[in-house]
Amino acid sequence: MATTKNVSNLMKWLRDPENKCFWNEDVLDVRESPEGGIGVFAKKDLNPVDEDEEDYDENENENSDDLFLRISKDSILSAQNSCISNLLYDYGISGMQAVVLAFIYEKSIGESSPWYDYIQSINYYDNEQNIDEDHLILPPSLWAEEEQALLKGTEAEILGVIDPTEVQEVFMQSLQFSKNISNLMTIPYELSLSKNSDFEKENLYKFKCFAAICAAIASRAFEIDAYHELALVPGADLFNHDSFGNEHVHFETVNDVCPFCGREDGCGHNEYGAPDSEEEENESETENEAENWEDMDLEDGASEDGVSDEEKDGENMSDASDMDQESHEPLGEITISYINELEKELEATAKEDAEDEDEEEQEEDEDFELDDEYQLIPDQCVDIVLKKPVQKNNEIFNAYGNLSNPILLSKYGFTSIGNPNDYVGLGMQALRLAKSDKTLKPHFKWWSEVGFRIFQEYADSLNNNSIENGNHTHSCCSSDCGEEEEEEEEHDEEFFQSWELELRILSNGQPSLATYALTKLLTLNSKDLKKLMKNNPEQIYKSLIKNNTKSYKILLNLCEKKSSMYKDGGLTSQEYLQIIAKNQQNKNLKYSLILIQNEKKILEIATELLHLKLVNPN
C-alpha cells in the first residue's frame, strides 16, 4: 500500500490558490493513522446537514463543515491535464495506464510540473530512508515466491492477483510508447532500459520501480468523468478506506460530461462528433463560404467581415468597458466563506442570464467565463463531502466500494480483518466434481449453457432476490444471494459463461442463491432433470430453491474440499489471528494472513451451519 510522505509540502500545495483547491483546515487534521500510514482526523465533532429538509439549500447552507475538499478538475493529475496529454491521445492510451504514464512523465520534469509537491508526497517505498529494490512496495504479482506461496489456493490466486502477466504487458507497452515519443520527451528513468547485459540488474530494478508506481497510482486513482476518466486527486487520497459501511465521506463529481472536451453541454460534439470530424466539417464549410464570398460585392460602409465600422467602434468600446469590469481584486486565501459567497454570486448571475431577452447578449454571457482562473465552480470541481457524523479526534473514513480482500490486496495493497464483502469460491471444486462424476455431466451441461442464465435472470426480477419462495427461505442461503456489491451486474454473455465464479459461500457462511440452486440441481435423477428443463423460469426457480438434505451434503463436501486446499496443517481462523498479532512488521505477510484467516472463518461458519441443516433440514 503506497503511503504519504512530505505532508507539509502537500499541505502547501493544497493551500496555494493557484492550484484552485480548497482544503478545510478548520475541521481537518492530517496525522499518523492506527490503520497504518497517514489519515485524516476531525478537529471537532462534525455532523452533516440533512439534505432531505425542505429548506435545505446547497448553495446557502451555513454548515460549512460539510465540505472537506473542493478541487477544480483543471488541477487534478489526469492524462488529459498532463504534459503528454496529446501524445497519449495520439497513441490511443487511456485508463489506468494513461494515468501511470502521466504521473511518471510529470515526475520526470521535476519542479516544472504543477504537481511537483503533490508528486513528492506519494511514497512507494516502505522506508523513506532506504530507497532501494528491497524496500519497494510491490504488487502481490511481484512478491517473493515464499510470500506468494501463502496465497496458493485462496481467492487471490483464483482471481489472478499473483499473476504478473498484466503488469509485464503494460510495462512493455509503456517502453514502446516512451521510445516512440523520445524525440519530443526525454525518456523517464523507469523506462530507460539498457540493452547492455551488464545493466540487467538495473533494468530489473527499473521494472520493479514501474510496477511499484503502478500499484501506488492504482491505490489512489479516482473515477472522475467521461473526459478525464481516472485521475489522481490531491487531498482526496488521504482518506483511508472502511470496509464495514462506516465511511463518513463521499467523493462527488459530475460524471456526465462531453468525452472530447469535458464540458457539460453546449460544446456541439454530440451533434458534430469528435473534434477531428468537427474540424474537417468546419474546413469544408470555410471553403464553401470562401467560394460564395468571391461572387459577392461588399456593401458600402462594411468591412470584409460584414460588420460596419460604426458597429466595430461600438464593440471595441464595449469590450474595453467589459475588461475594466472584469478586473478582479488581488488574489487571497480560498476559504469556505469565499466558496459560499462565490456560489451565491454564480446563482445570481445565472438568474440574470435567464432574464436576459437579447439572444445575442445571452450567447456572449454563455461564452464569458464566470470564474476567473482562481475561482471554484462546483460543477467543474470534485468534492469530498461529509455524509455521516464523526466525533472529535476520530479518523474520517472513505469507502472505495464493497470490495473483497483479494480485490483490496490487488488494487490497494491491504486487507481487512472480518471484511463483510469477503466470500469463498467453490467453482474449482464444482468443476472437479463435474469431471469425476460422469453421471452429473448432463446437469452441468444444462446449467452452464442455459440453466444459470434462466435462474439468475428470474432471481434478479424478484426484488433483489429477497423474496421467500416455496418451502425455501433465506435461512439456508444468504439474502445477498451472491451480490457482494451494490452495483447491478451487467448480465452479458461473458458474465453467464463465468457461472463457476458465482459459486460461493458469503461472509456470513451462507451459500449464494445460485450456489444452492446448483447443488439442488445435482440431486435430480435423469427423469426429474428432463422434466425440470421443460419448465418455465418461475417453475425452475421455485424447484431449485427448496430445502433438500442431499443438497446440504453436496455443499458440505465442496466446503471440505476447499478447506483442504490450504496447506497449513489445518490451522483454525482463531490460530491465524494469533499468528497475525505476532507478525505486524512484514506487511505482505500480515495482509496475506488476514486474507486466509477470513476465508477460513467463512468456511468454519458454513460447515457448522450445514451440519445443523443435516440434523434439521427445515
Domain limits of the chain? 1-73+233-265+333-400, 77-231, 417-615
In this structure, which topology does domain 417-615 adopt according to CATH? Answer: set domain protein methyltransferase, domain 2 (3.90.1420)
Q: Is the pLDDT of residue 105 over 50?
A: yes
Nearest to 103 by CA among 84, 89, 126, 75: 84
| In contact, 106 and 185? CB cutoff 8 Å | no
Instruction: Name the DSSP class of 230.
Output: E
Say how far apart CA 195 and CA 198 lie, in whole Å: 9
- Amino acid identity of 614? L
Strands 381-386 and 67-72: antiparallel
Sign of the Cα torsion 32, 34, 36, 41 reads negative
Q: What is the secondary structure of 555-612 as a DSSP string?
A: HHHHHHHHHTTS-SSS--HHHHHHHHHH--S-HHHHHHHHHHHHHHHHHHHHHHHHHH
Say how far apart CA 610 and CA 604 lie, in whole Å: 10
pLDDT value at residue 27: 96
- Amino acid identity of 48? P
Q: Is the pLDDT of residue 486 over 50?
A: no
Nearest to 107 by CA among 91, 95, 124: 124
φ/ψ of 510, rounded to 5, equals: -95, 145
- Residue whose C-alpha cell is 487534521: 29
Per-residue pLDDT tens for 495-528?
Answer: 334 788 899 999 999 999 999 999 999 999 999 9
pLDDT value at residue 52: 57
- Using pLDDT thresholds of 50, 70 and 90, give the confidence band for residue 385: very high
CATH superfamily of 1-73+233-265+333-400: SET domain (2.170.270.10)
For residues 506 and 473, the model is more confident at 506
pLDDT value at residue 464: 53
Q: Is the pLDDT of residue 57 over 90?
A: no
Per-residue pLDDT tens for 147-188?
Answer: 999 999 999 999 999 999 999 999 999 999 999 999 999 999
Nearest to 481 by CA among 494, 492, 469, 497: 469
Average pLDDT estimate for 333-344:
73
Instruction: Name the DSSP class of 329.
Output: P
Nearest to 464 by CA among 486, 447, 492, 448: 486
- Using pLDDT thresholds of 50, 70 and 90, give the confidence band for residue 492: very low
Say how far apart CA 59 and CA 376 lie, in whole Å: 13
Q: Is the pLDDT of residue 4 over 90?
A: no
Q: How many residues does the chain have?
A: 618
Say how far apart CA 253 and CA 379 lie, in whole Å: 7
Say how far apart CA 80 and CA 85 lie, in whole Å: 5
For residues 405 and 334, the model is more confident at 405
Cα 336 from chain centroid (whole Å): 28
- Using pLDDT thresholds of 50, 70 and 90, give the confidence band for residue 348: confident
